[in-house]
Amino acid sequence: MTAANGAKRTLVGSGYNHMPAISRDGTQVVYSALDLDRGDFDLYTIPTAGGTIRRLTNTAGRNEWGASFDESGTKISYSVGGAADAPGIYVYFNGVSTRIVTDSSVTSGTYWASSIGRSYSAAGMLRLARYTELGK
């Protein structure tokens, strides 16, 4: 949807795409899409103005979804399920994904609360945590 006139337009063609999130500045969308060859979900971004789709993750056997941008639009948090060695909350930054929480109950999305503290929440999770420093 454009801010100027509210007209709808397609950014990503049909397929198994879901759980989109828009960056706070409105310039990017992150979403999950099904890899039909493997049967799992990876993360992608695309500018809201249209353009090139960028694949962020490419991990067989893992479902990556529920992504959201931080305030600056440079970090993306997301949840991972589908593989016994990988469940939890991850942060993607500068081409690297880092698991910050290991939790086998993760089933859904993440969010960033503010620039002071990072929060995550997911349906089915056993706890809610707040991080004042990323990566510790």
Compute the distance between CA of residue 77 and CA of residue 116 in angstroms, rounded to an integer.
15
Please check whether residue 121 is in contact with residue 109, taking contact to mean a CB–CB distance below 8 angstroms. Answer: yes
- The predicted model gives 13-40 an average pLDDT of 83
Which has the minimum average pLDDT: 22-26, 108-112, 116-120, 122-126? 122-126
The tokens for 62 are 């893992």
Extents of the domains making up the chain: 17-131
Helices (H), the chain: none
Please check whether residue 42 is in contact with residue 59, taking contact to mean a CB–CB distance below 8 angstroms. Answer: yes
Which architecture does CATH list for 17-131?
Answer: 6 Propeller (2.120)
Answer yes or no: is pLDDT of 136 > 60.
no
pLDDT at 15: 67
pLDDT in tens, 44-96: 998 888 889 999 999 888 889 888 888 888 999 888 887 667 888 889 999 99
By percentage, how much of the chain surpasses pLDDT 70?
Answer: 63
